[in-house]
Structure 1
């Protein structure tokens, strides 16, 4: 599990860096309304990794506590949620890299 946590943390940091470069180079923009401040100040994206990494570390600590107390369902739930978060972040990083490197948007256009 700790290896998966490290992979997820690396993906979160990579996402913040790639988001910065996508916006700073003009290759794309942040479409998520919650993060549109990055379009005006892309350097803020470089600090965007801090809250999700803290959340991942909190989930990992709670998982370890649950494991120590014998709560198997809680341990499995934390494992599944961490794995899903890692897959989601990998897709986001791949999408941002495709925009940055190839100019290809992997997401369908908004309706």
Structure 2
């Protein structure tokens, strides 16, 4: 049977080599952001509790940047991130413009404006 030892609160999840303290801080920042968007759920007298979204957002991006800087090969990771984010974005922009132009031309034709 495997022995479970708690060496540190900051590194409980040795299987995935993750820092649980950073994961908990990210969870806290996400809860701050969700809470700030839930202002309609609070009665008007205590609506000031729906705050902290700005701080949560800044902390979340600070933590994400910190974790990104810890990766060994930053150039390789930047290229992977560029391909993962921007290539699909530009493909969707092109598709949207193409179908948007077709849609506008069909509507103009239908309304009697010609083609």
TM-score, normalised by the number of residues in structure 2:
0.34
Q: Which one has a bigger Cα radius of gyration?
A: 2
Q: Going by fraction, where is helix more abundant, 1 or 2?
A: 1
Bigger RCO (CA 8 Å, 6+ sep):
1
